Amino acid sequence: MHYFLQLLASALGAVGFALLMQVRRRYIPLIAALSFAAWGVYLLLDQVLNSFFTMLLAAAFCCLMSEISARILRCPVTVLLMPSAVSLIPGSDLFYTMYHAFSGEYGLFRGYGLKTLRSVIAIAAGFAIINLIFRARKSQTADKQG
């Protein structure tokens, strides 16, 4: 039940972010499903991998599904990717990083800051890997046609 609530919160958070960013309503159910699935991947991998690779693979999965869906729907990838990836943002770690910085607890600030930085780098790397694969594939098909 606890995991289902996390998955539901992930989907609802993505929907809220998409509505805030005025994404077309026809994409909202897909964004919710993508976020649900991405957080599901995170929860599954969190049982067997360290936090960096868990986050990297969840972000890569989210990006891959967004890339595929965007091509099917003929819409920009960003429209699907950004709202569906919101649940991967390390919000509590970022909060505690800033909290400890302003509280003068620099040891805890450093610890949470490094944890937050690792998560952000993992998300960026996951997005970059999938993006590079799709760009390379697009370049290869353009070379064959031209």
Q: Are 89 and 116 in contact (CB under 8 A)?
A: no
Average pLDDT over residues 73-90: 96
Mean pLDDT value of segment 29-49: 97
Average pLDDT of the residues of the chain: 94
Are 109 and 71 spatial neighbours (Cβ–Cβ below 8 Å)?
Answer: no
| pLDDT > 90: percent of the chain | 91
Contact call for residues 69 and 55 (beta carbons, < 8 A): no
Q: Give the Cα separation of 8 and 58 in Å (integer).
A: 16
Confidence at residue 137, expressed as pLDDT on a 0 to 100 scale: 83
Pick from 43, 39, 49: which is nearest to 9 by CA?
39
Task: State mean pLDDT over 5-14.
Answer: 96
Task: Determine the pLDDT at residue 143.
Answer: 67
In the prediction, which pLDDT does 142 show? 67
| Residue-level pLDDT at 146 | 59
Instruction: Note the pTM of the prediction, 2 decimals.
Output: 0.91
Report in angstroms the alpha-carbon separations of 51 from 3, 44, 97, 140: 17, 12, 17, 34
Measured CA to CA in angstroms, residue 24 lies from 55, 66, 103 at distances of: 28, 15, 42
Would you place residue 97 in the very low, low, confident or very high pLDDT band (cuts 50, 70, 90)? very high
